[in-house]
């Protein structure tokens, strides 16, 4: 059976890209073993002065559960058709999202710090991912119907020998 050349290049690109994605998120090597399931999902809250939005509570509650279980499959319906991972080219971004969720340490709490409606009808949601020793700022761009378009939590970053991978 003859394998198309484009299949070989696609497979090679994924083989190279996923370890880089894994390194960027939690510092594991090429094995990319899923992290263990956490006992509880991260709490979702709103910072002082930010109006509580039930649709965002539901969205981030589902996202928190996906982080807890490291299983992105149940969250896939919440991905927009134009969902993408910044800096990463993949034929199937939804599959890339599912793979990335196996590699991200969940925070203790997701704090929604700002909700900014954009001119194109999307929402820019700014968050703080609170961990035991630090809080990481992350942004989420959502469609008008609260589906994820992109997030700074999952992005392709090359890790060089001078810049070791950082875990959350």
Q: How confident is the model at residue 55 (pLDDT cuts 50, 70, 90)?
A: very high
Residue 157 lies in a domain: no
Residue corresponding to tokens 């649709």: 55
Domain with 41 in it: 5-151
Q: Which CATH number is 52's domain given?
A: 3.10.450
Contact predicate 102/25, CB 8 Å? no
Residue 56 lies in a domain: yes
3-state SS class at 136: strand
- pLDDT at res. 155: 78
Query: Between 93-101 and 5-26, two packed helices, what is the crossing angle to 10 degrees?
Result: 30
Higher per-residue confidence, 90 vs 59: 59
Give me the phi and psi of 159, to 5 degrees please: -105, 120
Q: How confident is the model at residue 27 (pLDDT cuts 50, 70, 90)?
A: very low
Residue 141 lies in a domain: yes
**Model's pTM, two decimal places?**
0.74
**Percent of the chain scored above 70 by pLDDT?**
73
3-state SS class at 151: strand
Domains identified in the chain, total number: 1
Residue 156 lies in a domain: no
Mean pLDDT of 10-36: 49
Residue 69 lies in a domain: yes
The yes-or-no verdict on residue 149 having pLDDT over 90 is yes
- pLDDT at res. 9: 37
Q: What is the mean pLDDT of the chain?
A: 81
Residue 46 lies in a domain: yes
Look up residue 57 and give its DSSP letter: H
Residue 33 lies in a domain: yes
């Amino acid at each position: 059976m003859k394998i198309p050349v484009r299949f070989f290049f696609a497979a090679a690109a994924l083989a190279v890209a996923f370890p880089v994605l894994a390194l960027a998120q939690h510092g594991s090597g090429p094995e990319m073993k899923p992290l263990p399931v956490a006992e509880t999902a991260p709490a979702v809250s709103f910072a002082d002065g930010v109006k509580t939005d039930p649709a965002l509570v539901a969205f981030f509650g589902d996202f928190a559960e996906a982080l807890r279980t490291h299983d992105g499959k149940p969250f896939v319906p919440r991905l927009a058709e134009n969902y993408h991972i910044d800096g990463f080219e993949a034929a199937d971004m939804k599959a890339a999202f599912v793979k990335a969720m196996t590699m991200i340490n969940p925070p203790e709490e997701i704090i929604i710090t700002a909700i900014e409606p954009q001119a194109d009808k999307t929402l820019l949601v700014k968050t703080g991912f609170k961990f035991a020793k630090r809080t990481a700022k992350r942004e989420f761009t959502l469609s008008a119907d609260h589906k994820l378009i992109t997030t700074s939590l999952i992005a392709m970053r090359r890790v060089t020998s001078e810049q070791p991978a950082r875990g959350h």
